[in-house]
Chains A and B, each alone.
Chain A
Amino acid sequence: DTAVSQTPKYLVTQMGNDKSIKCEQNLGHDTMYWYKQDSKKFLKIMFSYNNKELIINETVPNRFSPKSPDKAHLNLHINSLELGDSAVYFCASSRFQGAGELFFGEGSRLTVL
Chain B
Amino acid sequence: DAKTTQPTSMDCAEGRAANLPCNHSTISGNEYVYWYRQIHSQGPQYIIHGLKNNETNEMASLIITEDRKSSTLILPHATLRDTAVYYCIVRVGSGNTGKLIFGQGTTLQVKP
> What is the interface of chain A, defined by CB distance below 8 A to chain B?
4, 35, 41-45, 48, 50, 55-56, 90, 92, 97-98, 100-107
> What is the interface of chain B, defined by CB distance below 8 A to chain A?
32, 34, 36, 38, 41-46, 49, 85, 87, 89, 91, 94-102, 104-105
Is there contact, CB below 8 Å, between B100 and A107?
Answer: no
Q: Taking A45-B99, A50-B96, A56-B97 as contacts, is the C-beta distance between A104 and B104 under 8 angstroms?
A: no
Is there contact, CB below 8 Å, between B101 and A45?
Answer: yes
Enumerate chain B residues within 8 angstroms of A45, measured Cβ to Cβ: 99-101
Q: Which of A41, A44, A50 contacts B85 (CB 8 A)?
A: A41
Enumerate chain A residues within 8 angstroms of B43, measured Cβ to Cβ: 4, 90, 92, 104-107
Is there contact, CB below 8 Å, between A101 and B96?
Answer: no
